[in-house]
Amino acid sequence: MKNNLRRFSIWYLVLFFLAILVAQNYLELRHLQNVSYSDFRQLIELQGVRDLVITTDIITGKLTPAGVEFLIKNGRNPELAALMKQEGAVEPHFTTIRLEDKDLLSRLDAQGIAYTARLDRTWLTSLLSWLLPMLILIGVWVYFIRKLGAGAGGGLMSIGKSKAKFYVEDETKVTFKDVAGVDEAIEELREIIEFLQNPGKFQSLGGKIPKGVLLVGPPGTGKTLLGRAVAGEAGVPFLSLTGSDFVEMFVGVGAARVRDLFAQAEEKAPCIIFIDELDAIGKARSVSPITGGHEERENTLNQLLSEMDGFDTRKGVIIMSATNRPEILDPALIRPGRFDRQILVDRPSLKGREDILKVHVRGVKLAEDVNLNTIAARTPGMVGADLANIVNEAALLAARKNKSAVSMKDFEEAIDRVMAGLEKRNRVMNPREKEIVAYHETGHALVAQSVPTADPVHRVSIIPRGIGALGYTLQLPTEDRYLMTKSELEDRLAVLLGGRVAEELVFQEASTGAQNDLYRATDIARSMIREYGMSEKLGPVTFERERRPLFLEAMMPPSAKDYSEATAQEIDQEVTALVRRAYDRAQNILAGKREVLDQVAKTLLEKEILEGDELRQLLAKTAAS
């Protein structure tokens, strides 16, 4: 709006000058009589002219009544008579082209006619002659700059300025109540907000406040939403930017923006800086200086790193950030003193999904038959954004059918639609896959429970996470370990194979889901034989040489094995045998617990996550049976 006004005023200015020019010319022209030089010479003799102004090209002056009379009488200027009638006793101006006339001045002097000389141009015309084109040029220039800048936000003039938006509490209106299913993340964020509101309390106890908080999680889990909710809850200024805001076509702009952002933050402290989608600037810097190309982004990243280092949390500024792809972030960003606190914003569990649905149906009129729990159960692996989508889709469907409330059938249809979209992107398991994963994970858990030395099972989940892992079984060690015995490693092998064994036991065939388990198991087995000398057949011998740095490896031909081909074969056989034994062991364990396997897997299918007491109780039955 403001920009528009300014643009117009410049055009008005140009118009104004043009108008003056035209008006001036018009006024002059009206009374300006062209007189031939021969007439002019006669007019001098008649004293028909006075107050002459002589320039290099023309002579102007006023016509006396005698002059006017002469011109009219000779019929020289027909319009002159009309003018005289109209305006009465004015003395019209005249102009004539100056000719070479040596004794002009002496004749003027003889008649006592006053004259002055003047340079060709008046100050006004000379001023206008350069000012006007310039004004027009400036106008055009400004217009294009505005046009260019309009898309980018601030325009050229504000290029180095950060585009941080300030949100204050009552502006965003998003609070933690609008974010569901990520209770742990909210808990941690609350703590940080509390610090900002009451820094003294924490510092007096010597507590150290994290400088940077990184929200990590798959897309659509609500990271951006959490960021905005923090703004709503904190009651301190909140500077929000997206990583791509720093990436500009102009060199040096990103770094300048970072500098400006931190300068602003310092002014507003205590406050929160939120950089969404950090990966846009935080990508690991390229190793090879030859490839180059990303220097601009690196400058921005370096600037960010140095600003974070130079920052003192005691001033009460906390830098929050969010990313879907922590793995591509530059390691320097995650070092202590930078984003040293990482908060996982994970895919929601069954309960979490129900809570998220509750948030989103707040403004929706629901029919009586709608059961959010059932909807949550039908949407494993979906994230908050998907669920919001389902609610919206269902409401639209109901509206299209002119219903007064959204019914369960609309939801079912909406789920199918959204699911179809997601299946294309490979993000949702079908029920059969889910069942396989449930048995697979239960297999791990039961074997872990049954072998003597395995770490206790902490959590079993069939909520897919990341690429490849469809579920997981989390074992937490009860103590730190520096050494592992042979039987511990064998137990670990059995646990790793438990997943595959369970699948085969129940479905009579293997799936691809065990690939990572097999990889890890083989790796352990190979190390046991080649490195730790744990094979009875081969004896306490190691076959592994210390690894050389990669670049040396590349330059030199691979060294010959220092053992025979026959030994190599034996090593392979031993590795296979070790894995086989572990497999058989797992099979024995699970075959004897088929009932429990079914029971736990079924519970897992229902709840998707088993942990804590519930898991312990279920598994305790196992120990008894």
> Running DSSP on this structure, what letter comes out for residue 101?
-
For ligand ADP, the binding residue among 172, 224, 349, 407 (CB under 6 A) is 224
In the complex, minimum distance from the CB of residue 276 to Mg ion, in angstroms, rounded to a whole number? 5
CA distances from 487 to 519, 534, 576, 615 (A): 20, 10, 17, 26
User: From the CB of residue 557, how many other CB atoms can be counted at a distance below 10 Å?
Assistant: 6
Residue 222's binding partner, choosing from Mg ion, ligand ADP, Zn ion, none, with beta-carbon cut-off 5 to 8 A by kind? ligand ADP
In the complex, minimum distance from the CB of residue 481 to ligand ADP, in angstroms, rounded to a whole number? 36
User: Is there a contact between 191 and 356 (Cβ–Cβ < 8 Å)?
Assistant: no
Question: Which of the stretches 29-37, 88-96, 219-227, 370-378 binds ligand ADP when contact is defined by CB under 6 A?
Answer: 219-227
Catalytic residue among 307, 435, 441, 503: 441
| Total binding residues toward ligand ADP, as defined by CB under 6 A | 17
Candidates 388, 385, 397; CA nearest to 363 is 388
Count of alpha carbons within 13 angstroms of residue 359, beta-carbon side: 21
Residue closer to Zn ion (CB basis): 279 or 517: 517
Assess 222 for contact with ligand ADP (CB under 6 A).
yes
Candidates 423, 359, 421, 422; CA nearest to 391 is 359
For ligand ADP, the binding residue among 21, 344, 377, 385 (CB under 6 A) is 385
Assess 517 for contact with Zn ion (CB under 5 A).
yes
Residue closer to Zn ion (CB basis): 385 or 518: 518
Residue 418 is encoded by which pair of tokens?
A: 């959204």
For ligand ADP, the binding residue among 65, 154, 207, 219 (CB under 6 A) is 219
Q: Which of residues 298-327 bind ligand ADP (CB under 6 A)?
A: 322
What is the widest separation between alpha-carbon atoms in the chain?
142
Q: Which of residues 180-199 bind ligand ADP (CB under 6 A)?
A: 180-182
For ligand ADP, the binding residue among 50, 62, 211, 223 (CB under 6 A) is 223
Residue closer to ligand ADP (CB basis): 179 or 281: 179
Residue closer to ligand ADP (CB basis): 225 or 582: 225
Assess 258 for contact with ligand ADP (CB under 6 A).
no
Map residues 334-363 to x or -, x wherever contact with ligand ADP holds by CB under 6 A: ----------------------x--x----
Whether 531 is catalytic is: no
DSSP per residue over 424-479, as a string? HTT----HHHHHHHHHHHHHHHHHHHHSSSPPPEEEEE-S--SSS---EEEE--SS
User: From the CB of residue 560, how many other CB atoms can be counted at a distance below 10 Å?
Assistant: 6
Residues 6+ apart with CB under 8 A from 471: 437, 438, 440, 441, 460, 461, 462, 463, 464
For Mg ion, the binding residue among 96, 224, 240, 264 (CB under 5 A) is 224
Q: Which residue is associated with the tokens 């990103």?
A: 254
> Running DSSP on this structure, what letter comes out for residue 75?
T
In the complex, minimum distance from the CB of residue 487 to Zn ion, in angstroms, rounded to a whole number? 21
User: Is there a contact between 261 and 273 (Cβ–Cβ < 8 Å)?
Assistant: yes
Residue 181's binding partner, choosing from ligand ADP, Zn ion, Mg ion, none, with beta-carbon cut-off 5 to 8 A by kind? ligand ADP
User: From the CB of residue 469, how many other CB atoms can be counted at a distance below 10 Å?
Assistant: 13
Q: Which of residues 151-180 bind ligand ADP (CB under 6 A)?
A: 179-180
Candidates 525, 497, 516; CA nearest to 587 is 497
Assess 232 for contact with ligand ADP (CB under 6 A).
no
Assess 608 for contact with Zn ion (CB under 5 A).
no
Residue 92's binding partner, choosing from Zn ion, Mg ion, ligand ADP, none, with beta-carbon cut-off 5 to 8 A by kind? none
Query: What is the enclosing helix (H) or strand (E) of 93?
Result: strand 93-97
C-alpha span between 230 and 175 (Å, rounded): 7
Contacts with ligand ADP by CB under 6 A lie at 179-182, 219-225, 322, 356, 359, 384-385, 388
Catalytically active residues, by annotation: 441
Contacts with Zn ion by CB under 5 A lie at 499, 517
